[in-house]
Every structure is written in structure tokens, then in C-alpha cells.
Amino acid sequence: MARHALLGQSEMLVLLAVLRLGREAYGVPISREIAAHIGRDPAVAGIYATLERLERRGLITAAMGEPTAARGGRAKTYFSITVTGLKQLRASQEALQRFWSGIPQLVGDKP
Amino acid sequence: MNQSAGLRVAVWLVARLTYGERRESILGDLLERHAQGETGWWLLRQALCTVFIGLKKAIGQYGLLFALALTAAWATVFAFGIVNSIIRNEVGRLGPSITRDAPWSHHLYFVAFLISIAQLCFGYALAVWIAVRIYRPHPRLLVCVLAALHVAAGMPWAIRLVQDLMTNARYLEGLLWHLGLTTVTTVTIIASGFWTANRMARHREGRLTN
């Protein structure tokens, strides 16, 4: 396993949201997707900070969309996951699953 | 806070105090969420969060420059503070004698008081000007940090005066004086800082056009 394979929690959440949304992945749906799954509305700036970090690491790419009136004439920035990003996400998932498995207290429904 | 007021403040905060290529996207997202029915408080919270995250990033990127700008501002204010206390002591010593000797002395005393305030404000304006010239990447953000630090630095004394006021009403004058001076100096910091930042931006744009 690569040394830096494990992603941070916010990075994993944002990458999963980008994957789920596919071609419609920009700021607003990403934050709504995360809020729908974790039950807490994340900060818009926090999401963009994570997206910038992921972009710098080459895990996602950004592309500008068309400006719309609802956004005050400002364009959307669409994000998509790269092959490296997908590999990193999978590696993180496998590492976490290995770490979670075999703990007797977490087996079954009882607390 | 109603929606449109929240939106106006939020847009102003993000447009004026944040930097970077994603600023327009963040603003667009906030406007879209506003159109979808988010409250003014939600927008304001998001804008403050954006400014705070931007500040963290700015300090992380140019930490040394930021520290240098703050130190230079503090040194200038400190130097002017010393001069100001000397002027105020001299005026204070002069006060009783001129009041006794001449009927126009009240006016003279008031002029001396105004000179003292003007000197203090000039000191703050100069300090901010120096700091903004040093920390060029995010000047407006620096101005807001300086203003916030200035207000925070005056807080302990204001709290002390309020506590004293509980026991004795004669401290009211001191409290009002402190609050008035803090307001005047904070406005000076913000106004001179934004003026310098805008001038620098215009100068940069002019250079790019030429």
C-alpha cells in the first residue's frame, strides 16, 4: 500500500459526492449531496478548499460551465474525478475496510 | 436579518475580502442557494466562513509577510502612542493655567485636544498604509484583521470601565471617551486601509493596461 493512499474524511466525502453526481458535480449539488448523506450542511468555502486541494494533487479536474442568471451571471465550475483519484479512493476504501473488519464490538446490530 | 440584506452583506464580504480563482464560483453558489430560499443568516454565516478560510490560507501562504506587516503596524502605532501621550500630558499641564489666564483658553484647549486626536488618527493611518504596502497579496483582508485586533486590544479596558461604572457613575465619561476613541481609530484604520488597497489595485490595473 502506498504511504499516502489514505484520504482525509472531507476529501473522501467530496470525491464520493463528485462520483455520485457525475456530470452535474459543481459546488451546490456537491454540498447538497454531502448534506443528504451525513445530515449536516457543510460550508461552501470548506468544500471549495477541499476541491482545490484535490485538484492540486491531481485527483480531480475542473472545467468552467456557462454563466447563468440564477448565479448572478457567474459560471459554474464542474469537477470530475481522474483515474488517479479513483485509485486513491479505492485504496482508501480498502484500507479502511481492512481496519474495520475483525473488531468483535462492531459485529452485529447491538451497541 | 432579511434575505436581501443578508445577501448584500454576504456578497460584499466575499467579493471584497476573499481572493483566488474560485471566488466567483463561491459567489455564484451563494446566489444560487439564495434563489433556492436560504435565509440571510445562512448566507452571512457562509460568507464569514469563506473569509475565515481565506484568511487561514493567506496566512499559511504568506505567513512571514503577514507577521512583518502586523509588526510594522504595531511599531508605528506604538511610536505615535508615545508622542500622543506626551502631547496629552503637556496639554493637561497647560490646561489649568491657560483657563485661568485668558477667556479664549477654552478654545485653545479644544484645539489642542483636536490636534491630539488628529495626530493619533494620522498614526493609525500611517501604520495601516505601511502594513498594506508590505502585505500586498491580500490587502483588504489585512485591514480587517488590523481593525479586529485593534478593537480586541481595547476590549479589556472597556470591560474594566463597564465594571467600574457599576459601582460609580463618574466612570461613564471615561467609558464614552474610550468607546468614542476606539470608534474613530477603527474607522480610520478601515478607511485608510481600503483607500490604500483600492489605490494599489487601480495602480496595478493601470500598469497592466499600459
- Model ipTM? 0.84
Residue spans of chain B under pLDDT 70 = 1-3, 91-92, 94-106, 208-210
Q: What confidence score (pLDDT) does residue B16 get?
A: 85
- C-alpha grid cell, residue B167: 459601582
Compute the CA torsion angle B176, B178, B181, B186 (nearest 10 deg).
-110
Structural domains in chain A, CATH included, are 9-100 (1.10.10.10)
Q: What confidence score (pLDDT) does residue B113 get?
A: 76
Q: What confidence score (pLDDT) does residue A1 get?
A: 46
Of A43, A49, A72, the CB nearest to B46: A43
Q: What confidence score (pLDDT) does residue B1 get?
A: 60
| pLDDT tens by residue, chain A, 111 residues | 445 568 899 999 999 999 999 989 999 999 999 999 998 889 999 999 999 999 999 999 999 988 888 888 888 999 999 999 999 999 999 998 888 888 888 877 666
Tell me the shortest Cα–Cα distance from B23 to chain A, in angstroms. Answer: 9
Classify A64 in phi/psi space as left (phi over 0), alpha (psi -120 to 50) or beta.
Answer: beta
- A72/B contact by beta carbon, under 8 A: yes
Which residues of B have a CB under 8 Å from any CB of A? Answer: 20, 22, 24-33, 35-36, 46, 49-50, 52-54, 57
